[in-house]
Structure 1
């Protein structure tokens, strides 16, 4: 396997060795978006992650402090739906760029999200971890492609959760939608789009997902690996820049951007990020990790465009992280710069970007339709832009930062060898024969025309429970009642440490409460 590792998110997989930050990484202000699901009729919170494909849960065999702080899958409970794989000797490991990781074994369990049930779903049973879990979140529900799954590479018939839904035709259409907004409300729609957010489906901008060639010579077919699309430009306060791809040959001179709900920031290559910050007066590189600082009173907008050139705008409240310690007039800002990545993915757009759009993730259909990502702008382009220092005055706490008293030079890096086998072409928009949704679906997202108005739709408002930095639960009201569930406790068991939390209950085209656990450090 290739040994190059990237410095920003993209999960370690069975096909290529790449590292991403944990969704729970204590990097400035972290927001983890999670849903409540059931594994073996036991309820857990699982963080959503489009930058990985596997589902894993912390188990009772993990006895260190990081594991014991959250509800754990009880291996002492003889779940009637638990299925051992290879006598629990098929190992599972995830490693992240911040030095954290988790390991354990692969097993099968019945998994239920809302009222969609998947029997014998392969998942990672974590028995050791140094990941600091937050907001009683017990694991991760990856929503990536099968090719990205380490579990799929290590066990037979072990497709990821969403892949299973798509390949078995369980959903009305093989899509999911995510609404992550600034005020912490959110929804996760399976098999449909949330029309309480998307008021005009015709305004959704559709982007074909970028395919990748294979690694090495084990296979001679290309396919879909990341939820990644082509970026055509980025703009700061009216000054537009064309991205400079690290590998212009394999990418057809296009810059590739990976979209990931599991990443709490924005990352780009030095050759682009340096130019971006040149449009901010008094901006400066403040550490060797690629962090920049800008004046906190900046009112400049930042935008990204993809495909047809439609612009998606970020305001200061979207991209400014917070005041730097030692100079409260300077604020740390996204994006951070990152060294070149051997897979050719130059940009990583996490939640600061995804909170400004409603995102629709179409999985693609075997023989008929490529995967696509639809973006619907949620920011009001005509509203006046206010500086971060005005809007976020309540967030006055500074971020621990050692600002250098001299000008840092932009670091230089040796570009690693491209990890994919370019002798096998990966054609933009290509139709593949396997690993996407079952061909029994009727395609709505063809390359020549998109019939988005025919996509299944759901609507509704759910109660949102947000855990703030002090551990308090803040509740927003809703006209839809939801039953409570108890985390980590099997049916018929009781536990003094258990806690009742909001549950969900919706239909096959479903809208699921997407909850945010916020941890400010």
Structure 2
């Protein structure tokens, strides 16, 4: 729990503080000081199935929801309404943030591949669900290709901008195996009107950031407004998990967007589906290259030694 903040504008929004609900490994509270907020909240429930918190981010000051130990029936009536995936953690590492594999995106129904993950042991690019981030942030080469696929976008000093009436339906394919599912993002979250400077160019809801070290992508508010999310503690039989339920209907969202912004007169862009993997090296890749290079260098040195030795013996 933060007791003091600076430069966050909390006073102007009527908020009085920040509550962090990530795993203990990332908490500012040391193990010797006490338990984290989320550990204390969960400890109130003897029934381990109730050790979860859930939220829905609203589009205004009154439509958000946050509950502990129970679902908000406005968004889900039972746990069976959710799709669950285990939280990702690198092999042997502690859980730190609420992470899921992000398999791909879709742009107007066409699959959009992503660059290889930089996280060791990751089956796919890894995304953190982060209410503290306003936009969706990802690797610059993927984001540049994404906006080329959307069309009518430009890179400026403040980031990627897109024409405010550019109508595009984007999906995020999250999870693994049978629990892998696509979650639709409202077009209004891709062409972010709140970030408009002239009602012609809007700030893009997806931006570049190559400085994300805990994962490959951060899925901030422009994604999270489209889903209902539950976060479950580990128990004796299963690891921590995340439940998701998509709340955005693509057809209805697109119709509402066009009614608000006007018709999109631009030509459809060609979706650049194939990711460029040429510059995507994980830590494991680098170690492998270093090991192989060391082996080759060692072999070359041995050959030189034997060659020089033979040369001296001959003469």
Partner residue, 2:35: 159
Partner residue, 2:59: 182
Aligned residue-pair number: 262
Partner residue, 2:161: 293
Change in CA separation of 1:389 and 1:285 when aligned onto 2, cut-off 3 Å: farther
User: Among residues 128, 135, 139, which one is paired with 2:17 in the alignment?
Assistant: 139
User: What is the Cα deviation at residue 168 of structure 1?
Assistant: 5.5
Structure 1: gaps spanning 5 or more residues: 1-54, 59-101, 103-128, 214-220, 394-413, 423-521
The alignment partner of 1:163 has SS state of helix
Partner residue, 2:75: 197
TM-score, scaled to structure 2: 0.73
As a proportion of its length, which structure holds more strand?
1
Q: Work out whether 1:376 is the aligned partner of 2:252.
A: no
Change in CA separation of 1:195 and 1:151 when aligned onto 2, cut-off 3 Å: same
- Residues 410-489 of structure 1: matches in 2 within 5 Å? none
Inter-partner Cα distance in structure 1 for 2:17 and 2:78: 35
Change in CA separation of 1:179 and 1:331 when aligned onto 2, cut-off 3 Å: same
The alignment partner of 1:202 has SS state of helix
The alignment partner of 1:279 has SS state of helix
Inter-partner Cα distance in structure 2 for 1:388 and 1:340: 32
Change in CA separation of 1:282 and 1:190 when aligned onto 2, cut-off 3 Å: same
Change in CA separation of 1:205 and 1:169 when aligned onto 2, cut-off 3 Å: same
Change in CA separation of 1:208 and 1:330 when aligned onto 2, cut-off 3 Å: same
Inter-partner Cα distance in structure 2 for 1:231 and 1:222: 19
Inter-partner Cα distance in structure 2 for 1:328 and 1:283: 14
Assess if the C-alpha contact under 8 Å between 1:178 and 1:358 holds in 2: yes
Inter-partner Cα distance in structure 1 for 2:105 and 2:93: 29
Change in CA separation of 1:130 and 1:328 when aligned onto 2, cut-off 3 Å: closer
Question: Which has the greater radius of gyration?
Answer: 2
Inter-partner Cα distance in structure 1 for 2:237 and 2:58: 33
Computed over aligned residues only, the root mean square deviation of the Cα atoms, in angstroms, reads 2.9
Inter-partner Cα distance in structure 2 for 1:253 and 1:346: 12
- Measured against aligned partners, the alpha-carbon deviations of 1:97-145 in whole angstroms (never above 9, x if no partner) come to xxxxx5xxxxxxxxxxxxxxxxxxxxxxxxxx45432323222111111
Inter-partner Cα distance in structure 2 for 1:418 and 1:151: 29
Partner residue, 1:255: 125
Structure 2: gaps spanning 5 or more residues: 263-278, 288-315
TM-score, scaled to structure 1: 0.46
Assess if the C-alpha contact under 8 Å between 1:299 and 1:387 holds in 2: no
Partner residue, 2:299: none
As a proportion of its length, which structure holds more helix?
2
